[in-house]
Structure 1
Amino acid sequence: MANLLTLKATLRYTSPPVWRRLTVPDTLTFWELHFALQILFDWESYHLFEFRQHTRGATRFRAGSPSLGAEDPLFDDEPAPQDPRTVPLNAILTAPTNQLTYTYDFGDDWQHDIVVEQVTALVPAAPAPAIQCLGGKRAAPLEDMGGIPGYEQLLDLLAKKAAGKRKRMPSEYAGLGKFDPDAFDLARYNHNLTFMPQIVAEQNRLLAAHQARRPAAD
């Protein structure tokens, strides 16, 4: 029987925390959850991603970008990453307090802590409900801004500008003077989530085209 999961995703090391709460059917795949999180944190899916779950200090589950390498010797003692397109959430997330980590962009290293807050049984044979954002706080950092240190520097510059201690933003932050770190538009996020089927279908098409161009293995 399918369930509805209430998840809370918090961007690690942000203070005050940047977070989102959403409901998703547990038949959703991790591939689809990735794109839902991209929408809710205003990411652009330019970079690789990975979901991880740890049990007693050891990695129990990995699923990430289909192009994520599995032969890295650094991960010899860990399970190979699974294809997120084939793993439903209910294979891993089955009960309240279940947790995992979602990392996006291994350069900026945006790490999100995801926890299951509630599991609600769905009516048998009923259509799966759409993904919905229930709430959240603060705007997420922008793409390619240097990770948490770059984000914190931007917040510091904005605070000094608001206090009249700085007239202009440095050149590397040009155009970000109007960034509002407190912004959160629930209606906009839920509107954007309605495009999830088209987004996933297009990403599947692009991935299939990319894989078709790759040379066959010997």
Structure 2
Amino acid sequence: MKIVLEGSKPPIWRRVQIPANLRLPDLHGVVQLAMGWQDAHLYRFMAGNRSEGLRFYGDPDLLDIDLMQQAAGEFINDLNVPIDHLLVNRKDWIRYEYDFGDGWIHRLTLEDIMSSP
């Protein structure tokens, strides 16, 4: 998977290997470590688009679900969502937002699928 901080110049990106069944809260931890963040702010994952419908994934105890639904989106608790439910084929991607005040948006792209030995 390639993680790119959108809008950064020069480009800031990382490449990581993760298991297909990694749950989104754990992927949040991977992004935090890979990008050098401090895990001091809220996060959410975003999939889809406005015409097909946005889906927001995160911790319902921490996020303002009503605000996300007003943004024409559906909210889904990320606790039991494995990444392979969102990223299936090469070049599939989702967004990860960290720190809603500063709005650090990352694009997470599935670059390759490896089989276990």
Matched, 1:52 2:42: no
Matched, 1:71 2:73: no
Between the aligned partners of 1:108 and 1:55, the Cα distance in structure 2 is 21
The runs of at least 4 consecutive aligned structure 1 residues that moved more than 6 Å come to none
CA contact (8 A) 1:49 1:103 kept: yes
Q: Quick one: which of 72, 89, 92 aligns to 1:95? A: 89
Between the aligned partners of 1:13 and 1:76, the Cα distance in structure 2 is 22
Q: Which residue of structure 1 aligns with residue 6 of structure 2?
A: 12
Give aligned pairs, total.
116
**Identity of paired residues, percent?**
28
Quickly say closer, same or farther: Cα 1:76–1:118, change in 2 above 3 A: same
Q: Structure 1, unaligned stretches of length 5 or more?
A: 1-6, 124-218
Matched, 1:62 2:62: no
Higher relative contact order (CA 8 A, sep 6+): 2
From the two aligned structures, give the one with the greater helix fraction: 1
CA contact (8 A) 1:62 1:79 kept: yes
From the two aligned structures, give the one with the greater strand fraction: 2
Q: CA deviation at 1:65?
A: 3.3
The SS at the match of 1:113 is strand
Between the aligned partners of 2:3 and 2:85, the Cα distance in structure 1 is 19
User: Per-residue CA shift, 1:121-146, capped at 9, x if unaligned?
Assistant: 225xxxxxxxxxxxxxxxxxxxxxxx
Letter of the structure 2 residue corresponding to residue 92 of structure 1: L
Q: Structure 2, unaligned stretches of length 5 or more?
A: none
Q: Which has more radius of gyration?
A: 1
Q: CA deviation at 1:73?
A: 7.1
Q: Quick one: which of 28, 33, 42 aligns to 1:34? A: 28
Quickly say closer, same or farther: Cα 1:76–1:16, change in 2 above 3 A: closer
